[in-house]
Chains A and B, each alone.
Chain A
Amino acid sequence: MRGDAMRGLAVFISDIRNCKSREAELRRINKELTNIRQRFRADKTLDGYQKKKYVCKLLFIFLLGHDIDFGYMEAVNLLSSNKYTEKQIGYLFISVIMNSSTEMKQLIIQNIRNDLQSRNPIFINLALQCVANIGDREMAIAFTNDIPRLLISGDTLDAVKQSAALCLLRLHRTSSDSLQLNTEWTARIIHLLNDQHLGVATAAVSLIDALVKRNPDEYRGCVNLAVSRLSRIVTSSYTDFQDYTYYFVPAPWLCVKLLRLLQNYPPPEDPSVRSRLNECLDTILNKAQEPLKSKKVQHSNARNAVLFEAINLIIHMDCESSLLVRACNQLGQFLQNRETNLRYLALESMCLLAASEFSHEAVKKHQETVINALKSERDVSVRQRAVDLLYAMCDRSNAQDLVQEMLAYLETADYTIREEMVLKIAILSEKYAVDYSWYLDVMLKLIRIAGDFVSEEVWYRVIQVVVNRTDVQSYAAKIAFEALQAPACHENMVKVGGYILGEYGNLIALDPRSTPMIQFNLLHSKYHLCSPATRCLILSTYMKFMNLFPEIKHHIQEILRHDSNYRSSDVEIQQRATEYLRLSEICNPTVLATILEIMPPYPEKQSPLLVRLKQKKPLMEANGATESQPAASGNTDDGPKLTETAIHLNQQAQHQNGLLVSLDTPESNGHHEESTSHHSSSAKKFLFKNSDIIFENELIQVGIKGESTKSTLRIELYYGNKTNSHLTHFSADIFTPGDLQTALRMNFDPIKSTIDPKAQIKQTGTIDCIKDFAELPTMNISFLHNNMLQKIDYAFPLYLNKFIEKAEMDSNNFFLRWRNLDKPNQECQKIFPAKFPMVYNDCNQKLEDFGWSSLVGIDVNAENFCGAGIINTSTQPIGCLYRLEPNKQAKMYRLTIRSSKEGVANRLMELLEDQF
């Protein structure tokens, strides 16, 4: 070990350690500080050794947590000492204490410069290490030439090169704009990857990684070198690397850094480089299967560190399905390992694998194990990872099971992760709901078992879904009513239940168990237990009741008049009570009905839940970002308000239409675009139009145009790059799962793989309809943006009506055919409330745009619509007839559809029932 260093320092440290109390320690320190101050002030003849010793004592005192406000000058003086150890302590003091000091900066820089120019490499290294510790803008400017020169010069010692590389890295990180690296040096810097000395290569990769991130094209040459270096390491025996072998693993640090460097680029294009890289990855996966060479944890850690980084690279490239599946199997083994660390990391990596189409299915095989982890892991952070993975592996096929498991776990879950779990359950059950009554069951259960953790976004969303889906509203009213009957009911349940009954209470009012009065009494039994904000919401419900159930108006007016509301100390309650009461007194029923009209549907934007989840976990949700553009949710303060929200949301819808026009050609969307623009916000994409924006997020926009002749639809797809950089490796595919495969035949031209900034590319193709269909195809888009892989999956809005051809006929003919189509499965009839103002021309236009005819003068009632069409499939033409009867008083429609082929009427009904 060392020669005996500074005895005075050792004595001082023991003194401090022997202090019995904090006070004694303070006294001892103050005594020492006084002593040092005197020495520095009085004794101009202090020699270097003494200065070094006192500066060291100051350092020690600083590290104990005390402020040091003197001695800086003495420390800087030490820098110019020609004794190494004095210099070294001077640099240490500067690095530890003065990391952003001011006045002496120039003096320090001057000293560093002197040392950098020294002929003694150990002096040079001290200076470099100091810059690597505290380097800043001024140093970047001062040494913009000296340090790179040291790095690439042929006669620099290896140890100096290593320090110089990481010193440059520090300067690059703190002020990359001040550091001017000559492009002539690029090739030589890259070639450090090949340096014979593994230490030099290890240090250099870190620098190159940072330079690559700033300028990937300039440093592209590093890919080949990195692959070949990696290949040489992984194919060698561990004995080849002497001291760079760590517990039988050859150069793990260098390997990991190289594997990370490669994650800055897409898979190598040169086939030979690519296959060499694949071999490396294969070898690493193979080695993971070999028996351990040592029982020491260091061996397995180092080996698995390389393995996990290799898997990261495999996931990043996301193109070799065999590697992805092997990686998945390997991680599956780790899920059962007794090392908690490995289980934790395996769960984390599997989340990424679940997002890849190649390995998603392979991940799902481990569902049981992951669910077990949720139940049996003792470490909450591991359980958290298990939840993340369940969320990532969820899809339509397993959603019901997984949601059930997560709900079960939620009841006993740690408080720290409950809110996030609630969000995840809410998102999954909505995203994969086949049946929205299931969704509602889940959500109400969620509120019941974890009401405190249900954030506003979650219950807002429940209401948005119910408002937007007419088919589920009466069920919603029924179960909300039932939920409110529970003796202890969470306040969030009261909010949701209150809101739903206010909108749709009428749908269950005929049931003697839930008459208007019973509904009202039930809700009012909760009223006094709720916070003012909830009471305000309930008051709005009461107001809506007055419209839905005029018979209980007096009871409600009485409540509003009651002192606890009318003279409430809460201003908002008082205001609502006063205004609602007045409104109910002065308005006639028609005016009241207009004011309290049913809520219009919300525009389908990105779910605010995803936004919320992303805020909670900014890095986890890379795959969740595929939904649509970042939502500006208009309602984050109060519950969804009665009228303001609707207006606000409609503005958004118009804004969306504004973007839409940018891709449409003027002739393709005549005047009707304007006339329906404020209605079509919730319309299914491409349903009534022949051109539409079918997907959009912050990066890209996808537009479609279509034109059909008989059973063939000619399609033009436009992919627009919204960013200021190139999108590369662009690919877009449309898949026809299941039955669709036999119903549709697609034929698309290939497209370019790169989209220039702010430009769009066009793809043309045809879709042939072979037989009628119900499901939607899915569209997968993937590309690289800033070297980040982006994947987007969404339903491709191709509906059966695109193949309808108008049919014209007279009244006799129409009714003759109508009567002929009288088998049970040939007809479908539904009654539904109007979602939009009941304007004749709007309806007429929609029916025409749907594809079939709208025949005038057929029906005896001029308000009704009738028409006919033929669905062209290449196997058979399918005739279809319809009759739409508006009832303006009840604000309802009755739609009847008949078709020659059984089941088709139902399908057409599904498309239209929420569109009027």
Chain B
Amino acid sequence: MIQFILLFSRQGKLRLQKWYTSQTDKSKKKITREIIAAVLSRKPKMSSFLEWKDLKIVYKRYASLYFCCAIEQDDNELLTLETIHRYVELLDKYFGSVCELDIIFNFEKAYFIFDEFILGGEIQETSKKSVLKAVNDQDVIQEVETPQGLIDEY
């Protein structure tokens, strides 16, 4: 099972985090710090896998963003790489040529896509069409519900 997923920039700034096991905020911060440091210190040409405590870390860089999955010993590393890739494809399709900024400004959408694709640390739905349809349906509801034309203040 996937234990957690982290998205962070080349500068080491965390952009998104999804935890599938209960952790205290303190330990989340500690784990995140350690993993970001470990992954950023990897050189190109190295394998996409590293052992971290009793977990396996599978990571891949897309443009300026690192996508990083922590899986258990008997999980499949190569398939996890493709899980990451499928998620990137979903983001790309949804935002239309996704970039880091899309994820910063629409972090809630990135979460909603996660929940349609992966649930409880396991793949729920691998069909790109089905996942995107579910997320787009949500947006249709949002269009209807959002009061249009109001000046938005804070």
Contacts and interface: CB of A to CB of B under 8 A. Distances in A.
A212 interface: no
Given A88-B112, A166-B119, A252-B82, A3 B126 contact: no
A147 interface: no
B94 A1 contact: yes
Nearest to A35: B154
Contact of B49 (A67, A159, A381): A381
Contact of B96 (A1, A4, A5, A65): A1
Contact of A203 (B50, B119, B139): B119
B143 interface: yes
B123 interface: yes
Contact of B22 (A99, A302, A618): A99
Nearest to A4: B146
B46 A3 contact: no
A731 interface: no
Given A13-B104, A99-B22, A3 B82 contact: no
Interface residues of A, number: 86
Nearest to B137: A122
A49 B146 contact: yes
Interface string B88-117: 000000111000000011111101100100
A408 to B, nearest CB: 24
Interface in A758-812: none
The listed residue with most A CB atoms (<10 A of its CB), out of B14, B96, B112, B119, is B119
Nearest to A3: B143
Interface in B37-57: 43, 45-51, 54
Contacts of B125: 159, 162, 199, 202-203
Contact of B25 (A1, A67, A242): A67
B86 to A, nearest CB: 7
Contact of B126 (A88, A206, A246, A260): A246
Contacts of A345: 49, 77-78
A85 B141 CA distance: 7
Contacts of A12: 154
B78 A167 contact: no
Interface residues of B, number: 65
Given A5-B106, A8-B153, A345-B78, A251 B49 contact: no
A854 to B, nearest CB: 58
A484 to B, nearest CB: 39
Interface string A247-277: 0000111101100100100000000000000
Interface string B66-86: 000000011011110111011
The listed residue with most A CB atoms (<10 A of its CB), out of B19, B104, B126, is B126
Contacts of B139: 1-3
A206 B73 contact: no
Given A84-B138, A199-B125, A63 B54 contact: no
Nearest to A131: B120
Given A5-B146, A378-B46, A17 B104 contact: yes
A59 interface: yes
Given A199-B127, A304-B78, A206 B107 contact: no
Nearest to B139: A2
The listed residue with most A CB atoms (<10 A of its CB), out of B81, B86, B124, is B124
Contacts of B145: 83-86
Contact of A199 (B95, B96, B124, B147): B124
24 contacts: A2-B142, A3-B146, A8-B153, A32-B154, A57-B154, A85-B142, A92-B108, A159-B130, A159-B134, A162-B124, A166-B124, A167-B120, A199-B126, A202-B125, A206-B1, A253-B83, A298-B82, A301-B78, A305-B79, A309-B79, A312-B74, A378-B46, A381-B49, A381-B50
Interface of A: 1-8, 10-13, 17, 32, 35, 49, 53, 56-57, 59-60, 63, 65, 67, 83-86, 88-89, 92, 95-96, 99-100, 122, 129, 132-134, 136, 159, 162-163, 166-167, 169-170, 173-174, 198-199, 202-203, 206, 242-244, 246, 251-254, 256-257, 260, 263, 298, 301-302, 304-305, 308-309, 312, 340-341, 343-345, 378-379, 381-382, 618-619
Interface of B: 1, 14, 16-17, 19-20, 22, 25, 29, 43, 45-51, 54, 73-74, 76-79, 81-83, 85-86, 94-96, 104-109, 111-112, 115, 119-120, 122-130, 134, 137-139, 141-143, 145-147, 152-154
